Amino acid sequence: MVHDPALDAHEHTEHAEHAMHAGDPFISRIAISVAILAVLAAVAGSLETVEGGRALAGTSEAVLAQDEATDSWNEYQADSLKKHMYVIAAQAGGEAADGNRKTARQFTGDQKALRKKAGEKEAERDALLKDSARHEDRHHWLTGSATLFEIGIAMSTVAIITRRHWLWFTATGFGAVGLVLLGSAYLG
């Protein structure tokens, strides 16, 4: 079953409008609160989806940055082995000794660039993971917020059926806590 926050909000708003036409002021207040809670649930649900997507995208980008860093470190180590082979060949002497020393020095320069690139990619990975964790944290707060709004809507519906004021007050309390969680997702 697919959960569509916008469709749910529209459906709850329609039910609230029907209840408002009953003429009972208590029912009208509950209906208005249901409409408000439904809109807030839709907002929290939509933001939850966006934050979850951003968390996943950030993690994927971090994996790619790590792959690039690993590639650079692998190339660095391969160049290190080649450099050592040329150093050994240069120490052995012979006609190619000067050329072997020169080639060994070239590998040293290449290694510095590879080390720098690998370090930059690791720093990029760390920044992406930190950003992804922030989005994942928001996602969790928004999940809680949307859940509390939905509970408030359900309790309001029961309050309409039973005409119990305490149920409606409890439902608005759930909505208020949901609103606090919604705000906390972006203030923290």
pLDDT tens-digit series, residues 126-138: 999 999 999 999 9
Q: Quick check: 143 and 49 in contact, CB under 8 A?
A: no
Number of domains the chain contains? 1
Q: What is the CA radius of gyration of the chain?
A: 31
Residue numbers of the domain that contains 43: 5-187
Element (H, E) at 152: helix 97-162
Closest CA to 172 of 42, 46, 44, 31: 31
Helices 5-20 & 25-91, crossing angle to 10 degrees? 170
At 32, list the tokens: 């208005």
Angle at 174 between CA 171 and CA 180, to 5 degrees: 145
Average pLDDT rounded to a whole number, residues 20-31 = 81
Q: Give CA–CA dist 57/51, Å, rounded.
A: 10
pLDDT tens-digit series, residues 145-187: 999 999 999 999 999 999 999 999 999 999 999 999 999 998 8
Average pLDDT rounded to a whole number, residues 98-109 = 85
Q: Quick check: 171 and 153 in contact, CB under 8 A?
A: yes
Q: What is the pTM of this model?
A: 0.71
Q: Give CA–CA dist 52/57, Å, rounded.
A: 9
